[in-house]
Structure 1
Amino acid sequence: MQPQASLSLRAGRWLPAAALCLLLLTLGAARPALAAPTPAEAAQTVIHMLDYVGVDYPEFVQDGKVLDEAEYQEQKEFATQSLALVQQLPAHAEQAQLVAKARELLARIEAKAPGAEVSRRAAEVRGDVVRMYKVAVAPRAAPDLVRAATLFQAQCASCHGAQGRGDGPLARGMDPAPSNFHDAARMDQRSLYGLYNTISLGVNGTPMRSFNELSEADRWALAFFAADLRTTPELAARGEAAWKEGKGRESFQALQSLVMRAPGEIAAAGPDLGPLHAYLVRHPAALAAAGEPPLQFTRSRLADAVQAVRANDRAAARQHAITAYLEGFELVEAALDNVDPALRRDTEREMIALRAAITDGAPVEDIAARVARIDGLLDQADAKLGNEGLSPTTAFVSSLLILLREGLEAILVLAAIGAFVVKTGRRDALPYVHAGWIAAVLLGVVTWFVATHVIAVSGANRELTEGVTALLAAAMLLYVGWWLHGKSYAQAWNAFIRQQVTSALGRRTLWAMAGVSFLAVYRELFEVVLFYQTLWVQAGAGGRDAVLWGIAAAAVLLAVIGGAILKYSVRLPIGPFFGATSALLALLAVVFVGHGIAALQEAGVLRSTLVEFVEWPLLGVHPTAEGLAWQGAALAAVIGGWLLHRRRNQRPVTAAQPR
């Protein structure tokens, strides 16, 4: 491997003679000479340069004396260029204060202020840039450190050595030597984001080139791997014990909080935080699994939506607004619905209206005002749900109602079909019905395993699955309901019996029943699995027994309700039974259409236009023009089918009257 492929992070002594060269490299030397950097490029460069200032300035300026004049001049140049770029960033309500902080940082560097003060000021400006301009500063998922080990040996070990001590075969003669990742004093000053930036951008004028050809995930993985090389098993074990005891979790709520601060800064904030940081760097999946609280995630994505509108990127703003609902608020809807359904409805309506306003081109002031209203509603939801986890009572009630509410629709469908085949004596059809719901249960178990241990099912995919499944179920329910309604007339039933005395029910109808059985159950199970995943986290260790008791109580109630429906429906006379069953299936088809359209709207596939209308989620009625229109069409199809059957079954009677 050539020296330029090394992964040196000893940036301070490998910097070019003129810092402007690094600036031009960072902004993209291939850009036209007069092309201005994009806001994202400018913000990223400010963060990168200030990271160097925070780490290198204390090394070359001590007790008011400059130890290396060239390095000191470079620190001044970085601060000067950072100030210029901050002034060029897009307008923001806090930009004046940010510029003042950047100017004061430069002044303190010129005054040869203490290194700790300059590092603190640089970190403050850097943090403000990240916060104000929503710079992506965290991996999208937990880095793969197994892959990182392979990458390190292939890309970095030739200079940094197999153990990362700066003693690789190509390191001989390098001046200065490649970084030693076991150098505690140096590495305590390097944040994971600083390492990631150096890997991504390189250091101009040194063998440390940019590794931008690697994927973002691989560059983050290398940063985590390099930071972890000096961690001892004992330190990681202390951090793991603290994490399992719940210590310091308020300091590490997401990957961003892990990557932005230097280890030394973190360790100084509390005795448990240093070991916790070391453990989470080694096991980032533990932090990713804990995840950001759903309502806080919603607030973050809504803020991203406002920033995207300010940047005139409506498509990104709409996607942020959709994600804010699907990956955040929707996860707590079931729990909130059990304590304050009006608040749940108000918040959901406001979020739908926000998406429509973004799509319709509403001004940024209107978007910001809508987000502020939603933030107020989210604060109320936080207060209702409690910040310390759900109480056992709330966890039990939520668990009970989730399964009871979602299971009732499936029970009604299965009971109607089961009662039909029992009443007609066609028990040979029961295996099809049972095969449908058993397959749904098995797939539900697989879904739970995959969603828990393999991948995170995104909100958009969840809603797409629910929407498509609901619409397919509605279509099959309409078909079976049509078929049953045709048998509700005595003469049609007698003809049917004569045709089926020696043969099983039509294969097409049997498979339709199996399909309805499968879709009705799987749709509910899919939603239940994801709701219970969130409820399990919200309940915390003290409320999980209550969640399990809620599931058990709901299962008993569903068994009792299902048994009662099946028992009493079998006793109904043939005509009324088929009429009632077909009406029930038709009603459920209309309900499923409403649920399906709402799910596709929440996924952003269909537009949502709010109207003044009653909201009745139990019947799939949501106050959007599109949902009501599709439900109206389904209802019209039901009525049209009923009229057609009635006309067909009246013809023979009318014809026979003259005779």
Structure 2
Amino acid sequence: MLANYLIGLREGLEAALVVSILVAYLVKTDRRHLLPRIWLGVAIAAGVALAFGFALFYGPRGLTFEAQEAIGGILSIVAVGLVTWMIFWMAKASRSLSGELRGQIDDAAEGSWWGLVLVAMLAVGREGLETALFLWSTTEAATRESGATWQPLLGAAAGLATAVVLGWLIYRGAISINLSKFFAWTGGFLIIVAAGVLAYGVHDLQEAGILPGLHTLAWDVSEAIPPSSWYGTLLKGIFNFSPATTVLEAVAWVLYVVPVMFLFVRGIRRSSTPSTPQPAASEI
């Protein structure tokens, strides 16, 4: 539930910041009459993300077990790839996001009426689709362990609600958040979460018979960490930790975390310039 809350918070805050920048720029440039186009684009993006999430949760149910496992494994790996790209992109683009969006608004405002709708739809829709896919991957694992989906979905909903409130407060100038530090800390945590999703995806592909080594275990600590215990459930829900982990799952986890975390930390250190002041929230 905590991992899904963080995913909802981070992805929701990214989308909320994008919307805040779009709305604030139109208001400051006295183009309020264009705001309905922004909200239309946001509504379309939200609808597409919800439909995509619904299709993920209920689409594969009528397939064979092997087909479900294969689809689940492939989508989990795709989700890891997307969220990894998102982590690096946001860490790099957080400083220049406002200027880029303002340029897109100016170009779209001078074009046809649907230009601004498309800008808002693409900016928010990308976050929505990534969120739906990654939440499905983390929720699928928790569902198989506990049989209930409401807890991870509740965590994601709470994270999204928090993001909406924070985005509104930032827009109103009521609070100021160091976005670089926020995306750095949450990015590091999500790398660990993504590694668990990757290992889970590998396990699904092993269940489907696509990858070998399903019964070759790297470790089995089920007696020390029972899957049904509160701490086993907590580790599974946050990090997708499996007490019985195959060798291939463990190798995939290590081969992902080590290079990705190294590159992420190195990028954060290179981009951190103490002499450069953080943009004020009111400048959004």
Calculate the TM-score normalised by the size of structure 1. Answer: 0.24
Higher relative contact order (CA 8 A, sep 6+): 2
Task: Indicate the structure (1 or 2) with the bigger Cα radius of gyration.
Answer: 1
Structure showing the higher helix proportion among its residues? 2
Calculate the TM-score normalised by the size of structure 2. Answer: 0.48
